[in-house]
Amino acid sequence: MKKYLSVWDAKNIGEKMVASEEVLDQLKTLGLNSYQRKLWTALLSNGTSTAGDLSDISDVPRSRTYDVLESLEDLGLVKIQTGKPMKYTPVDPEEALERLKKNHKEKYEEMKNKIDRLKDSKTYDELDNLYKEGMESTNPGEISGALKGRYQLLQQLETMFRNSKDRIHLMTSKEGLKEIYNNHINHLRDAHDRGVDVKIAAPSSDETNEIMNKISEFADVRHIPESDDAIGRFSIVDGKEFTFALTHEEEVDPTQDISFWSQSNHAAGDFLEPIFQNYWKKLEKRNSN
């Protein structure tokens, strides 16, 4: 395993060092804004410093440096030494990342509690009524849209599985099966426990045999022959809502994966479901071991 410092592509600026764009991009994924990223890495490279020194190294305006450094202290990434001038000391990266993780966890729990309280309040009832009134006046053709990125598709599938009442029919690929297992096995099992009929058709292979066996404990799973490459990825729930992948997941980056979603009794129940049922009858039944 590489050491932490090996991810730095350091450049000399006089005797100062700055982090590579790769490192700054990774810190962005942790929720640090541009000024926070620049100032924290500048502090790491320079050791205990004044706000003025850090402003010069990082190119962050001096007028913003103080409040950004205070925000980094709130996150547990910086220690402030009182005095004239005030100085700032970096927290060791390993400890800093642990503090950041704890901070995000606390904020998540706080937000989760707020959402749970809202769902039990009159505010939620009003939001629900607004939604129902709005949907009553919505043309069914408007209840559809493109889902860009695998994450959006997985979110939409979760909503559909959680709200299912009667049946869930899935046609997917080997990679799609692995994603469904990793992200939705509990949602599908819960649906089965509510009495929902779960059917999944997917190619089996050495990679997916164990997954198919586990899913077979609560769902009817059938094997798609590897020679059959005409079937895509789609899901149908209760014969009235569906998703359909428009791209091949092995040919595009997950962020560029495109799917179509719609609530349409005609498209889901009268068109896609018969296709699924006809193909389903031809497939080999998968028995759990």
For residue 75, pLDDT beyond 60: yes
For residue 111, pLDDT beyond 90: yes
**CA separation (Å) from 164 to 160, 169, 193, 239?**
6, 11, 12, 10
Q: Among 80-94, 111-125, 147-161, 219-233, which is the least confidently predicted range?
A: 219-233
4-91 against 145-285: fold identical: no
Q: Which residues face 235 on adjacent strands?
A: 170, 243
Average pLDDT rounded to a whole number, residues 76-82: 90
User: 147 by DSSP, 3-state: which?
Assistant: strand
Q: Which residues contact 111 (CB under 8 A, 6 or more apart)?
A: none
The Cα–Cα gap between 201 and 180 comes to 12
Q: What angle do CA 150, 233, 247 make, to 5 degrees?
A: 60
For residue 268, pLDDT beyond 60: yes
For residue 73, pLDDT beyond 90: yes
The Cα–Cα gap between 171 and 233 comes to 5
Do 267 and 242 touch, CB atoms closer than 8 A? yes
pLDDT of residue 17: 56
User: 220 by DSSP, 3-state: which?
Assistant: strand
pLDDT of residue 10: 39
User: 77 by DSSP, 3-state: which?
Assistant: coil
Token pair, residue 13, equals: 């600026």
Residue of 252 and 30 predicted with greater confidence: 30
Token pair, residue 247, equals: 């791209």
Do 44 and 56 touch, CB atoms closer than 8 A? no
- pLDDT 10s digits, 116-132: 999 899 898 888 888 77
The Cα–Cα gap between 180 and 79 comes to 44
pLDDT of residue 72: 94
- pLDDT 10s digits, 217-244: 999 999 888 766 556 889 999 999 999 9
Q: Indicate the fold that domain 145-285 takes in CATH.
A: Endonuclease; Chain A (3.30.870)
Average pLDDT rounded to a whole number, residues 57-85: 91
Closest by Cα among 75, 91, 66 to 32: 75
Q: How confident is the model at residue 94 (pLDDT cuts 50, 70, 90)?
A: very high
pLDDT of residue 6: 30
The Cα–Cα gap between 90 and 101 comes to 17
CATH code for 4-91? 1.10.10.10
Q: Among 135-139, 153-157, 160-164, 235-239, which is the least confidently predicted range?
A: 135-139
**Exposed, middle or buried, 87 (CB in 10 Å: 0-12/13-18/19+)?**
middle
User: 234 by DSSP, 3-state: which?
Assistant: strand
Q: Where are the domains of the chain?
A: 4-91, 145-285
pLDDT of residue 1: 33
